[in-house]
């Protein structure tokens, strides 16, 4: 048994039937079939080639890792490569999803179970009236779920960076390592989210009949979400850069403040050192061996030190 669905004349009539029965169902021109292959074997690759007649280059791309998000056109079908993402523990987790689109079949090939298709199936079940649009309806549900995942991850990154901004002016911020982690996650997200604009734009071209008039507004809505996600990632990228610059500026200001305090205290300590050093010379001085000479030196040290302290405090050096 596999993850499969069978639509006939726009109605869901069967699901979770064996993948081996797909070829038989496709003989009926009124049916639309979806089936999913997760980490497929060589035998399942043969099914794609022999039963569906898919192009060998597309099959090779589907079974190769790390394809860039794209749309390839072949004489009998389309091949799409997209990435589902989720944000977890300051990292972007990606799962490659390759899609074959024929006249009456949608085939998804996932590299692992990291991407759950339950959200896609919920989207299909929530809009049964659109099922009459055939494969275009099924593909929309998949792309809508993928793009929503991109937006959710971008929003989570944006929230993390805003929270990090509030910590910059703390006494001990320690935001450097966290900022680098967020920047790395943002770069990973941009690599898979930004090309989705081109993917959706290519599908909306009238060079094929995949997207009919009923589905066009829904594809445009997904494209708008992809554009918004791209804008959000760009603004978040600028926020990370600003965050790093602000951290450097705050560290510089804190260092200047520390230097002012150290210098001020050094000046205060220098006065008693000078006076005591002067009276420590081996020559007679005013008040030598007199009680009042001791008190004059002591009061001079205390008075001048206090005077310097007041002056530095007024200038906000202490």
pLDDT digits (tens, 9 = 90+) for 61-79: 888 877 889 999 988 899 9
| Contact indicator for 213, 138 with CB cutoff of 8 Å | no
Q: What is the pLDDT of residue 221?
A: 94
Whole-angstrom distance, CA of residue 106 vs CA of residue 292: 104
Whole-angstrom distance, CA of residue 42 vs CA of residue 313: 78
Fold of 4-250: Beta Polymerase; domain 2 (3.30.460)
The secondary structure of residue 67, as a DSSP letter, is P
Q: What is the pLDDT of residue 1?
A: 47
Whole-angstrom distance, CA of residue 59 vs CA of residue 254: 59
| Contact indicator for 110, 130 with CB cutoff of 8 Å | no
* Pairing label, strands 11-15, 4-8: antiparallel
In the predicted model, what is the mean pLDDT of the chain? 83
| Contact indicator for 166, 250 with CB cutoff of 8 Å | no
pLDDT digits (tens, 9 = 90+) for 105-130: 999 999 888 898 999 999 999 999 99
Count of CB atoms situated within 10 Å of the CB of 165? 16
Whole-angstrom distance, CA of residue 53 vs CA of residue 294: 107
**To 5 degrees, how large is the angle CA 50–CA 51–CA 57?**
50
| Contact indicator for 195, 70 with CB cutoff of 8 Å | yes
Whole-angstrom distance, CA of residue 108 vs CA of residue 35: 7
Q: What is the pLDDT of residue 279?
A: 63
* Secondary structure class of 38 (helix, strand, coil): strand
pLDDT, mean of each 10-residue run, the chain (318 residues) = 82 87 83 88 73 83 83 90 89 91 91 88 92 93 95 90 74 68 87 91 80 91 93 84 72 74 78 70 65 77 81 70
Whole-angstrom distance, CA of residue 192 vs CA of residue 39: 20
Burial class (CB in 10 A: 0-12, 13-18, 19+), 272: middle
Q: What is the pLDDT of residue 98?
A: 92
106: β partners: 34, 101
| Contact indicator for 197, 104 with CB cutoff of 8 Å | no
Whole-angstrom distance, CA of residue 74 vs CA of residue 197: 21
* Pairing label, strands 4-8, 31-38: antiparallel
Q: What is the pLDDT of residue 311?
A: 78
Domain residue spans of the chain? 4-250, 259-314
| Contact indicator for 267, 308 with CB cutoff of 8 Å | yes
Give the phi and the psi of residue 98 in degrees, each rounded to 5: -100, 140
Whole-angstrom distance, CA of residue 128 vs CA of residue 119: 15
* Pairing label, strands 105-110, 31-38: parallel
Whole-angstrom distance, CA of residue 309 vs CA of residue 173: 30
Count of CB atoms situated within 10 Å of the CB of 268? 19
pTM given for the model:
0.76
Count of CB atoms situated within 10 Å of the CB of 243? 22
């Amino acid at each position: 048994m596999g993850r499969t669905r069978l639509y006939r004349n726009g109605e869901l009539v069967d699901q979770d039937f064996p993948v081996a029965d797909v070829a038989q169902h496709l003989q009926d021109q009124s049916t639309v079939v979806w089936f999913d292959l997760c980490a497929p074997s060589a035998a399942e690759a043969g099914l794609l080639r022999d039963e569906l007649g898919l192009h060998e280059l597309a099959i090779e791309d589907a079974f190769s890792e790390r394809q860039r998000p794209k749309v390839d056109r072949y004489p009998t079908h389309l091949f799409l490569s997209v990435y589902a993402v989720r944000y977890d523990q300051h990292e972007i987790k990606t799962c490659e999803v390759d899609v074959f689109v024929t006249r009456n079949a949608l085939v998804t090939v996932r590299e692992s179970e990291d991407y759950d298709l339950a959200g896609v199936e919920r989207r299909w079940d929530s809009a049964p009236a659109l099922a009459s649009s055939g494969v275009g309806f099924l593909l929309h549900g998949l792309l809508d779920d993928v793009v929503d995942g991109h937006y959710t991850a971008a929003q989570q990154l944006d929230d993390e960076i805003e929270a990090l901004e509030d910590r910059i002016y703390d006494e001990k911020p320690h935001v450097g390592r966290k900022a680098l982690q967020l920047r790395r996650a943002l770069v990973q997200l941009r690599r898979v989210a930004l090309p989705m604009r081109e993917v959706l734009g290519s599908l909306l071209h009238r060079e094929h009949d995949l997207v009919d008039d009923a589905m066009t507004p829904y594809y445009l809505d997904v494209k708008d979400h992809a554009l918004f996600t791209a804008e959000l990632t760009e603004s978040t990228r600028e926020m990370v850069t600003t965050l790093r610059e602000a951290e450097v500026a705050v560290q510089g200001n804190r260092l200047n403040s520390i230097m002012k305090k150290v210098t001020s205290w050094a000046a205060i300590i220098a006065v008693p050192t000078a006076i005591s050093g002067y009276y420590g010379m081996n020559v007679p001085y005013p008040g030598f061996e007199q009680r009042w000479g001791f008190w004059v030196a002591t009061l001079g040290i205390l008075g001048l030190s206090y005077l310097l302290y007041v002056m530095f405090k007024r200038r906000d050096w202490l």
